[in-house]
Amino acid sequence: MDWSVLWSNRDLYASGLWSTVELSAAAIAACTLLGLVIAAIRTSRIPVLAQLARCYLEVFRGTPLLVQMLFIYFGAAYLGIGNISVFGAALLALTLFQGAYVAEIFRSGIEAVPRGQWEAARVLGLSRVQTFGTVILPQTRAIVLPPLVGQYLSLVKDTSIAVVIGYAELLREGQAIVDRDGHPGMAYLAIAVLYFVICSPLSVVVRRMERKAVTA
């Protein structure tokens, strides 16, 4: 084994790693926001909106992320919406896909808060939005956080799917290196190590929070 191949490609690995982190961070922020909004709509029982939110969940949790990404990336051009960038398409697909899962996580947390909390806050003269933000949401922390971080973990891994539409993230750079230098075993091992370095701290956090939630 010639380890110098790894070192000589350090720039490609670094730029791939950075692209992965960039896409992950943007998608985590966006899908959390979307999930929160969808969960609020779902639990609000506003007639038409609540059903629409449900349909959104059905469609985006019942179809593969890859199909959604291809649909958005190639579909935008087909509909003449103009050229969506690879990053934009990957971000939008990741947000919509993971947002559906995040929404269900928030919903389970919100529904676990006793109804009386809502009523009490309303009696005290808080508006609906205030009640949701300052009374209900903080109480969902213990239930929501472990699965939420777990979902972020799967989001980070799912950024690799953007390779199919040509986003230059970690796996794409790995492919490029293999195409040029060969040694697929070593290149993919290096990529795996890099993913592991990002993901395993998240796993550790999830496990610790789960243990805490059980003992609390």
Partner 1 sequence: MFADWTYALQDWPTYLGAAWLTLKLSLAAFVLACALGLLGALARRSRHALVRAPAAVYVEVIRNTPVLLQMFVAYFALPSAGLRLSPVQAGIAALGVNVGAYLTEIFRAGIQAVPGGQREASRVLALSPFRTFLHVVLPQALRNVYPAVINQLVQIILGSSLLSAISVPELTGTAMVINSRNLLTIQVFGIAAVLYLVLTNVVVLVAELIGRAAFKPPLRPMRPRQSVLAGLRSAARRLVLIRKEA
The binder of partner 1 chosen from 66, 176, 205, 213 (CB under 8 A):
66
Among 26, 71, 87, 113, binds partner 1 (CB under 8 A): 71
Map residues 91-130 to x or -, x wherever contact with partner 1 holds by CB under 8 A: ----------------------------------------
> In sequence order, what DSSP letters do the residues of 106-167 get, joined into one string?
HHHHHHHS-HHHHHHHHHTT--HHHIIIIIIHHHTHHHHHHHHHHHHHHHHHHGGGGGGGT-
Considering only 10-18, 34-42, 61-69, 88-96, which stretch makes contact with partner 1 by CB under 8 A? 61-69
H helix count then E strand count, the chain: 11, 0
- Record the tokens describing residue 62, joined without a space: 């019942």
Beta strands (DSSP E) in the chain are: none
Contact between 166 and partner 1 by CB under 8 A: the answer reads no
Q: How far is the CB of 108 from partner 1 (least distance, A)?
A: 10
Q: For the chain, how big is the Rg over CA atoms in Å?
A: 21
Min separation Cβ 133 and partner 1, Å: 27
Q: Smallest distance from the beta carbon of 86 to partner 1, in angstroms?
A: 15
